[in-house]
């Protein structure tokens, strides 16, 4: 009975945490519009950009996912097959884009593609679309093709880590004897045969998972669309732009109707995608045995020249926008001449907190406090929800396990606007005083990061040999002792990775907080960056100060990932 309660309470708590805000938001929007969510989906085209946004959202998300796989798969293959020096640092570098706040990513890419930037100087003008890109636009007849290319590449950059994190562990932990045995068969003689008949069946699940998640994140992209493709609209970008007017009875009802319809459509698509992924992953864990990645890599030895060049280029690709962004913090335009100077003035301003905003140390302190709170809640809840799902699977109650699994991923299917609006409305109705509570931002952060904790811990729990549990019982350990002496030590690497990831996501979270009313004393680093970027920039230090703040955020995140990589072991895929 007690173990049932331990399993049930976190599930109910977590589902309440994610469902209540959603219900509040949907209920308010239904009240304002007089429409139900399904009706509203069919009214999306009443918005001037509604139909175009739906089409562009699907097309760019699909193309982004394809491009990400094209870039990411060779890298994952090389990383998984060979022995690399400093692989933890390389992995952290390749993962950094994924946890970079999107506004920072956008600034990094703009620094690369701007007039006079690296790409522009080699004749690739993605911004004003002259030269080759202009010709391409004319030839294919697609308006703003330079902007679209920039967006797709940025999405590939952002999601590269997903492909590597899903696919590389599977390659690295597959027993080499499988491949050796397959080579002996007539059907496995040529590389193409092995690719089609051995590797594809082995890797299709992580590849499709990576595709799905990349599609999902590109589908809900906002800041990158806003900055890199300013004349194009995705559903999320439209919702974020007009969302401030939503949910107010008697005021701009058409906006509430659009938000309700777009959020519903988005949720339908994303829930379907997540359900598919969950189903695939459940099937996957039963299929293959694994070995330690060190063993597998030793069999294949050191990488050759091509893998070295490939991984080097990928690392450059991952870091270039961030390096250019960091450089922008010390490259200051001169007020009166057509030139730049190198200076640390922006860093001084950033650390002093001038321009009426909080200082970087204050914002960093807020960010770290929220990240720690988020870690505690999301890791605790995530652990027990994953544990409950795993227990249900072991009890062969797979449908219920899958239902909870899909529901647990619901926050990934919600737009930041919906999460923010839901928390805002929920707090206003249930407990308005909560707005004066410094810890309020932890709630949306935990809502958004717990699904990742579950996704990391659940596959690891599935891999634990049940014999350990039986052995503990033989030794006379009670349930609590088995939990602390067997389960926690076995899951320690995944718990550390989940902790680092949830802290990193919290550090970079921006979307939901953006919708919430926020107190200046609570400003986090991403909010500070956005506030600075929203200011008129007559004063030449405004952008460099924003870039300095973003660089601090980036370095903090990078540090967390290097720490996580020291604990990370590969056990059968997942993030």
Q: Which of residues 228-247 bind other proteins (CB under 8 A)?
A: 228, 230, 238, 241-242, 244-245, 247
- Residues linked to residue 333 through DSSP beta bridges, in sequence order: 340
Contacting other proteins within 150-169 (CB under 8 A): none
CA of 326: how far to CAs of 107, 413, 547, 552, in Å? Answer: 10, 32, 6, 9
Least spacing, CB of residue 46 vs other proteins, in Å: 11
What are the tokens at 60?
């760019």
Return all residues near 23 (Cβ < 8 A) that are at least 6 apart. 422
Q: How far is CA 233 from the centre of its chain?
A: 20
Q: Which is nearer to other proteins, 72 or 243 (CB)?
A: 243
Largest CA distance in the chain: 80
Q: Which is nearer to other proteins, 435 or 477 (CB)?
A: 435
Applying CB under 8 A, among 248, 272, 471, 488 the residue interacting with other proteins is 248
Query: Phi and psi (nearest 5°) for 124?
Result: -100, 100
Applying CB under 8 A, among 85, 335, 342, 466 the residue interacting with other proteins is 335
Contacting other proteins within 509-548 (CB under 8 A): 517-521, 530-531, 534-540, 543
Q: Are 357 and 531 in contact (CB under 8 A)?
A: yes
Least spacing, CB of residue 426 vs other proteins, in Å: 8
Q: Which is nearer to other proteins, 287 or 354 (CB)?
A: 354
Size of the site for other proteins (CB under 8 A): 74
Least spacing, CB of residue 118 vs other proteins, in Å: 12
Applying CB under 8 A, among 186, 432, 466, 476 the residue interacting with other proteins is 432
Q: Which is nearer to other proteins, 7 or 485 (CB)?
A: 7
Q: Which is nearer to other proteins, 78 or 384 (CB)?
A: 384
Helix, strand or coil, per DSSP, at residue 545: helix
Report d(CA 50, CA 37) in Å as an integer: 15
What are the tokens at 389?
């799902």
Mask for 351-380, x = binds other proteins (CB under 8 A) = --xxxx------------------------
Point out which span in 88-96, 158-166, 298-306, 421-429 binds other proteins (CB under 8 A). Answer: 421-429
Residue (of 501, 541, 540, 504) closest to 525 by Cα position? 504
Least spacing, CB of residue 14 vs other proteins, in Å: 10
220's torsion region: left (phi>0), alpha (psi -120 to 50) or beta? alpha
Applying CB under 8 A, among 392, 460, 486, 504 the residue interacting with other proteins is 392
Contacting other proteins within 310-329 (CB under 8 A): 328
Report d(CA 107, CA 388) in Å as an integer: 41
Report d(CA 28, CA 20) in Å as an integer: 12
Report d(CA 380, CA 467) in Å as an integer: 25
Applying CB under 8 A, among 251, 295, 437, 484 the residue interacting with other proteins is 251
Applying CB under 8 A, among 7, 194, 279, 308 the residue interacting with other proteins is 7
55's enclosing H/E stretch is helix 50-81
Least spacing, CB of residue 565 vs other proteins, in Å: 31
User: The tokens 């009426």 sit on which residue?
Assistant: 356
Mask for 33-72, x = binds other proteins (CB under 8 A) = --------------xxx-----------------------
Contacting other proteins within 185-224 (CB under 8 A): none
Q: How far is CA 235 from the centre of its chain?
A: 18
331 binds other proteins (CB under 8 A): no
Report d(CA 251, CA 236) in Å as an integer: 21
Least spacing, CB of residue 495 vs other proteins, in Å: 23
Contacting other proteins within 104-133 (CB under 8 A): 107, 110-111, 114-115, 127-128
Report d(CA 556, CA 364) in Å as an integer: 9
Residue (of 218, 216, 229, 228) closest to 271 by Cα position? 216
Contacting other proteins within 8-27 (CB under 8 A): 8, 11-12, 15-16, 19-20, 23-24, 26-27
Report d(CA 105, CA 553) in Å as an integer: 12
Contacting other proteins within 68-97 (CB under 8 A): none
Q: Are 564 and 543 in contact (CB under 8 A)?
A: no
Q: Which is nearer to other proteins, 206 or 247 (CB)?
A: 247
Mask for 396-415, x = binds other proteins (CB under 8 A) = ----x--xx-----------
Q: Which is nearer to other proteins, 484 or 539 (CB)?
A: 539
Contacting other proteins within 435-494 (CB under 8 A): 435-436
Return all residues near 305 (Cβ < 8 A) that are at least 6 apart. none
Report d(CA 61, CA 226) in Å as an integer: 15
């Amino acid at each position: 009975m007690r173990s049932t309660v331990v399993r049930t309470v976190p599930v109910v708590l977590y589902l309440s945490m994610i469902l209540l805000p959603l219900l509040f938001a949907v209920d308010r929007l239904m009240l304002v519009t007089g429409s139900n969510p399904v009706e509203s989906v069919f009214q999306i085209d009443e918005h001037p950009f509604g139909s175009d946004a739906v089409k562009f959202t699907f097309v760019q998300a699909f193309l982004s996912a394809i491009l990400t796989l094209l870039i990411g798969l060779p890298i994952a293959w090389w990383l998984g097959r060979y022995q690399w020096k400093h692989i933890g640092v390389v992995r952290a570098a390749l993962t950094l884009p994924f946890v970079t706040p999107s506004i920072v990513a956008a600034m990094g890419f703009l620094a690369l593609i701007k007039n006079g930037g690296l790409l522009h100087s080699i004749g690739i003008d993605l911004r004003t679309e002259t030269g080759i890109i202009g010709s391409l636009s004319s030839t294919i007849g697609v308006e703003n093709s330079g902007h679209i290319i920039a967006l797709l590449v940025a999405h590939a950059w952002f999601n590269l880590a997903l492909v590597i994190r899903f696919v590389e562990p599977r390659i690295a932990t597959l027993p080499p004897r499988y491949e050796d045995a397959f080579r002996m068969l007539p059907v496995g003689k040529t590389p193409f045969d092995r690719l089609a008949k051995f590797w594809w069946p082995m890797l299709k699940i992580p590849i499709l998972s990576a595709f799905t998640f990349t599609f999902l994140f590109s589908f809900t992209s906002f800041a990158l669309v806003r900055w890199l493709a300013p004349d194009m609209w995705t559903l999320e970008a439209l919702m974020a732009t007009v969302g401030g007017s939503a949910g107010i009875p008697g005021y701009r009802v058409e906006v509430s109707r659009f938000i309700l319809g777009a959020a519903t459509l988005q949720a339908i698509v994303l829930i379907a995608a997540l359900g598919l992924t969950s189903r695939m992953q459940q099937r996957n864990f039963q299929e293959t045995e694994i070995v330690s990645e060190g063993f597998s890599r030793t069999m294949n030895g050191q990488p050759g020249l091509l893998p070295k060049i490939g991984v080097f280029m990928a690392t450059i690709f991952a870091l270039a926008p961030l390096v250019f962004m960091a450089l922008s913090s010390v490259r200051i335009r001169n007020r009166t001449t057509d030139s730049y100077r190198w200076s640390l003035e922006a860093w001084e301003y950033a650390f002093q907190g001038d321009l009426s905003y909080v200082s970087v140390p204050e914002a960093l302190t807020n960010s770290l406090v929220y990240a720690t709170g988020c870690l505690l809640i999301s890791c605790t809840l995530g652990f027990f929800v994953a544990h409950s799902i795993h227990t249900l699977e072991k009890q062969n109650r797979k449908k219920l396990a899958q239902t909870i699994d899909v529901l647990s991923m619901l926050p990934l299917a919600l737009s930041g606007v919906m999460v923010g609006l839901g928390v805002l409305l929920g707090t206003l109705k249930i407990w308005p005083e909560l707005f004066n509570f410094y810890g309020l931002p932890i709630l949306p952060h935990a809502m958004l990061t717990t699904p990742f904790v579950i996704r990391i811990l659940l596959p690891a729990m599935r891999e634990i040999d049940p014999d350990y549990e039986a052995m503990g019982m033989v030794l006379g350990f009670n349930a609590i002792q088995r939990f602390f002496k067997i389960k926690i030590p076995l899951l320690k690497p995944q718990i550390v990775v989940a902790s680092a990831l949830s802290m990193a996501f919290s550090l970079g979270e921006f979307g939901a907080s953006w919708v919430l009313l926020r107190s200046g004393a609570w400003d986090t680093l991403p909010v500070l960056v956005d506030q600075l970027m929203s200011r008129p920039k007559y004063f030449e230090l405004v952008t460099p100060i924003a870039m300095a703040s973003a660089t601090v955020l980036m370095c903090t995140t990078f540090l967390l990932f290097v720490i996580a990589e020291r604990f990370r072991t590969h056990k059968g895929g997942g993030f």
